[in-house]
């Protein structure tokens, strides 16, 4: 289990990147940047979808420092956050103040939902909110006070049983997410992340770059089954924590995310097969013979366990690409 925990810690930067999709107000399909100053001219959102779009752009375009608390299965942890934009590139930092030491820094551009050339993937981030609306029901709640600021509640409920729901509290003045709760398939809150202090939110007076289209890699394996709406993510997943034989791919519907690791069993410390719980996440480990070689398949994410089990068991080997 120690190795599994290290694996989960190594995934955190990838997961942070995957859960920050975006949509555009005025960006064109071929735009490679977005001018954040456009947000100053936008009318106040009226519908749930408009609020969600605003929250996504606000997450990219505002500079801020914050204190936050995360409440989950492992108890309560406090952390400090910062988000800056320099030369069109975002820089996000998170540092836990209690419990096991952990700090994460992520430099990124506005991400895309799929590899280039995909027939279903939006060509730019502007399609992500619409995509989410195909698999979740978005509805507005009332106003509340979070971190001493006015917040509008947004409920995001899955339309099937293959993903978890979320409840967001969005800052009325900026659109930034002040509080977020993750709900399992029964509607029970399993984790809450909340800002306690939001310091000096300032709209970036310039542009944020959109990530360039990326060609999909050719893997010797492919998922035999994915929940509707999930696509492989065009993000760099190689890590110094893993050898070159370990292939890691990220899948997302724009809101929910899970990872797949495939590696030869020879030369690694194998994980115990079965279903494991890592706080709010679940991990499925399978030892399978793929391509004539014993391999370890690890599927993990904040998803219903039966979904992760099905993905792990349906993974297939493409002999032609071996």
Q: What is the CATH number of the domain that holds 273?
A: 3.30.200.100
Task: Please tell me the predicted confidence (pLDDT) of residue 116.
Answer: 56
Structural domain contains residue 120? yes
Domain that holds residue 73: 2-209
Structural domain contains residue 214? no
Q: 89-96 and 75-86 as β-strands: parallel, antiparallel, unpaired?
A: antiparallel
End-to-end CA distance of the chain: 30
**163 and 281 fall within a common domain:** no
CA–CA separation, 115 and 213 (whole Å): 7
**CATH (domain of 61):** 2.50.20.10
**190 and 269 fall within a common domain:** no
3-state helix, strand, coil in the chain (%, to 5): 20, 45, 40
Task: Please tell me the predicted confidence (pLDDT) of residue 239.
Answer: 52
Structural domain contains residue 168? yes
The residue out of 153, 174, 209 marking a domain boundary is 209
**157 and 193 fall within a common domain:** yes
Task: Please tell me the predicted confidence (pLDDT) of residue 219.
Answer: 83
Compute the Cα dihedral for 242, 245, 246, 247 and give only its sign: positive
Structural domain contains residue 296? yes
Q: What is the pTM of this model?
A: 0.83
**106 and 188 fall within a common domain:** yes
Q: How far is CA 171 from CA 86, 174, 183, 199, 263, in A?
A: 24, 6, 21, 13, 43
User: Closest by alpha carbon to 259, among 15, 13, 29?
Assistant: 15
Three-state DSSP at 137 gives: strand
Question: Which parts of the chain have pLDDT scores under 70?
Answer: 1-31, 111-127, 236-244, 319-322
Structural domain contains residue 295? yes
**190 and 287 fall within a common domain:** no
Three-state DSSP at 218 gives: coil
Structural domains counted in the chain = 2
Tokens 């690694």: give the residue.
268
The residue out of 155, 181, 209 marking a domain boundary is 209
CA–CA separation, 54 and 48 (whole Å): 10
**48 and 190 fall within a common domain:** yes
**69 and 122 fall within a common domain:** yes
Q: Which residues contact 196 (CB under 8 A, 6 or more apart)?
A: 67, 68, 69, 147
Task: Please tell me the predicted confidence (pLDDT) of residue 111.
Answer: 64
């Amino acid at each position: 289990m120690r190795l599994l925990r290290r694996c989960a810690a190594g995934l955190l930067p990838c997961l942070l990147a995957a859960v920050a999709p975006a949509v555009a107000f005025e960006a064109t399909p071929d735009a490679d940047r977005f001018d954040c100053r456009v947000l100053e001219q936008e009318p106040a959102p009226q519908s749930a979808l408009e609020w969600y779009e605003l929250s996504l752009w606000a997450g990219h375009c505002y500079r801020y420092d914050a204190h936050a608390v995360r409440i989950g299965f492992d108890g309560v942890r406090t952390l400090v956050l910062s988000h800056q934009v320099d030369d069109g590139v975002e820089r996000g930092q998170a540092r836990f103040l209690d419990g096991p030491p952990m700090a994460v820094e992520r430099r990124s551009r506005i991400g895309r939902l799929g590899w280039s050339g995909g027939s279903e993937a939006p060509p730019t981030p502007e399609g992500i909110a619409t995509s989410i609306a195909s698999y979740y029901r978005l509805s507005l709640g009332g106003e509340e006070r979070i971190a001493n600021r006015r917040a509008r509640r947004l409920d995001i409920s899955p339309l099937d049983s293959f993903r978890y729901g979320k409840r967001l509290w969005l800052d009325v003045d900026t659109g930034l997410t002040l509080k977020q709760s993750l709900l399992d398939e029964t509607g029970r809150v399993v984790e809450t992340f909340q800002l306690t202090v939001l310091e000096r939110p300032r709209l970036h007076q310039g542009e944020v770059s959109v990530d360039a289209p990326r060609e999909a890699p050719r893997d010797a394996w492919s998922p035999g089954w994915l929940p509707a709406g999930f696509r492989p993510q065009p993000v760099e997943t190689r890590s110094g924590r893993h050898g070159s034989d370990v292939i890691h791919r990220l899948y997302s519907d724009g809101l929910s995310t899970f990872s797949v690791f495939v590696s030869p069993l020879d030369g690694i410390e194998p994980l115990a097969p079965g279903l494991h719980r890592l706080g709010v996440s679940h991990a499925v480990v399978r030892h399978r013979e793929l391509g004539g070689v014993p391999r370890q398949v690890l599927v993990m994410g904040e998803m219903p366990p039966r979904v992760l089990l099905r993905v792990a068991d349906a993974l297939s080997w493409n002999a032609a690409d071996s």
